Structure 1
């Protein structure tokens, strides 16, 4: 299937005869990607941006559970029927995702896409679903059921109706891959930004780090922290855009895969460190685990830092 990219804007800032900065926004993986490249000239920058777009498109055509021709869709169609041979890249991504699930004791789970959609986050919910409905909603969810065969490079979902998907880490993975590709091409600097999940490398043309602002969801147009980034990545999970409010309590659209209940207590979690993929997984896990357990998990990974905002607006930052 041919991908239709919506080009939102394209602009070029000429910085010197030796260097230009160019940005382009496109719609990929159902989200807006903004690709920033610092390169020797505009032609080279445009070509390199196109390579990043092609790389993200390639990844989407492998792992999207919404496109029927992808390998992940084939895995899902054959749940309870047979294992499906996949590319080693897809196998390894799935294997890492299962590792994230083990790290978080199941707070992160790529099989959550099989969850029954009993929660509505469009403002229409006025009461909680029944306990029985919530219990049944997670019957097909459970990373521990996923069977990987490394020799045959296959994935098998043994339960009929079980599914896996990479909505929680796919954009971070794509951002990391876009960065890696540009570094292989000796592009000096840039950002691959997948709707806030982003990977950076190098320096701005003024030889200063990239400045990435973390927004305050309770105060429009305010930033809580400005990150100074070179080769780094950041990802944010939050409930400030999609949530249900019942009996004066906010329920996030991020669901606990083990219980079927939405996460509560945290409005947003931002993680920054070397990999956007891992930051994605960690931010999602902490949203589900909550403040205390989430911080304990984050502290196990000293290369990553956290910034949590609770439902009452309290800001909690890692000390290192």
Structure 2
């Protein structure tokens, strides 16, 4: 998935712990073979290859994942959209961009994007991308899904506690061997090596989207690599979003969506979703949070 996975388990002994970790790695590898758009033999690649041509029958697992992705697109008004992969790559964050794209280039770049063009047939379990050249990718949900599935497997093997960390999108269960809760550090966007808050999480997941690693600057304005699939323009106004929920998959998707939606709309959405919380750091480094987040300095 192009991401580093760190797996920690609490086990009776080291040998058993490494067996558990190997099982988790095998599960993550299995999922990658289904959802990777880079693997020409994956189900996802087959869907993309047949865009505008014909529906593709897929496994129940992939069908359900796409179904859930479309549901998240609905509740976020398209801020989250797995068809973002259809965008022309007019924004480059490798230092090669010398000018802003034109409005015409931006409009053209999103011509094939739109989650409503992903047609699902539950009876036949098929996926059809309506427009030729369309693509789907799970870059903003796949790591979280893989973390959830690895956790699910380990729990089924009676592993009492652990952390699956998928490049910062992580899920936990149980407690440390000492009985202490797992602590998650929220990075300061101005200095990602510094932590501005430590939060205990129990049987929960967290994912963070930030603009401090990939961006370009034109006329003094920072443009992040997180691009709004509805407009083709990079999101602005936010430095980082951390989402807390039971499912890493949901955290992964909502972190991207809230970043794009902006702090007011994003937090309004999170406050309507049960069991989901958010910490948003805006571009002035001011911290905003959903109603269920309490810092030590907050009044009881």
TM-score (norm 2): 0.95
Match of residue 296 from structure 1: 268
CA contact (8 A) 1:31 1:195 kept: yes
| Residue equivalent to 2:209 | 237
Of stretches 81-90 and 243-252 in structure 1, the one that deviates more from structure 2 is 243-252
How big is the shift at 1:317? 2.1
Shift of 1:50: 0.5
Q: Map 1:1-320 to 2 at 5 A.
A: 29-320=1-292
SS at match of 2:39: coil
Would you say the 8 A contact 2:279–2:290 is kept in 1?
A: yes
Aligned length: 292
Counterpart for residue 4 of structure 1: none
Conserved 8 A contact 1:118-1:137: yes
How far apart, in 1, do the equivalents of 2:220 and 2:2 lie? 32
Question: Do the aligned residues in 1 keep the contact of 2:271 with 2:291 (CA within 8 Å)?
Answer: no
Poorly superposed stretches of 4+, deviation over 6 Å: none
Query: How far did 1:64 drift?
Result: 0.3
Within 2, Cα distance between the matches of 1:50 and 1:92? 26
What are the superposed Cα offsets for residues 45-101 of structure 1, whole Å, 9 maximum, x if unpaired? 111101100000000000000110000000000001111110000000000000000
Aligned residues of 1:125 and 1:246 also touching (Cα < 8 A) = no
Within 1, Cα distance between the matches of 2:193 and 2:89? 33
Counterpart secondary structure, 2:29 = helix
Deviation, structure 1 residue 220: 4.6
Specify every segment of 5 or more residues in structure 2 that has no aligned partner in the other structure, as ranges. Answer: 293-300
The separation in 2 between residues aligned to 1:293 and 1:122, in whole angstroms, is 30
Cα distance in 2, alignment partners of residues 129 and 45 from structure 1: 51
- The 2-side partners of 1:260 and 1:233 are apart by 29
Moved more, 99-108 or 310-319: 310-319
Write the distance in 2 (CA, Å) between the matches of 1:270 and 1:88: 30
Q: Contact 1:298 / 1:306 at 8 angstroms: preserved in 2?
A: yes
Using the TM superposition, give the Cα deviation of residue 42 of structure 1 relative to its aligned residue in structure 2, in angstroms: 1.6
- Cα distance in 2 for partners of 1:224, 1:297 equals 24
- Which residue pairs with 1:24 in the alignment? none
If the length of structure 1 is used for normalisation, what is the TM-score?
0.89
Report which structure shows greater RCO (CA 8 Å, sep ≥6): 2
Q: Deviations over 1:209-235 (max 9, x none)?
A: 111111102135321211212210000
Q: CA RMSD in A?
A: 1.0
Query: Structure 1 CA distance, aligned partners of 2:118 and 2:128?
Result: 6
